Amino acid sequence: MNRYALFFVCIFSTSALPAMAALDPSQPLSPAPPLSLFKAWAKPIKPFQITEGVWYVGTKNLSSILLTTPAGHILIDAGLDESAPQIKRILKRQDSASQTCAIC
């Protein structure tokens, strides 16, 4: 009997999700943040090691995490377009052993 109760709870709770996530058309959208905010996010920061094989390679206010392994590197969350040149330079430095890097 508990399986059926759980089933109906799941069905009814998912059917209410679209109604809860809908925008209120009478409420105005907030204005876009100023461009200066995004430029501040792209300020360079020196990469630092979080733990073995894990590096913070992002900008001052947006994280990008580099996982280093003998088989290659994995970049998680590359941030804004403006931060790409800095991250590429860091990857070239980290990638001195001619390893590959996957970007996630």
Residue ranges per structural domain of the chain: 40-103
Residue whose C-alpha is closest to residue 99's, from 77, 75, 68: 68
d(CA 27, CA 38) in angstroms, rounded, equals: 26
Residues 6+ apart with CB under 8 A from 43: 59, 60, 61
Residues of the chain with pLDDT below 50 are 1, 97-98
What pLDDT is recorded for position 54?
93
What pLDDT is recorded for position 6?
58
What pLDDT is recorded for position 3?
59
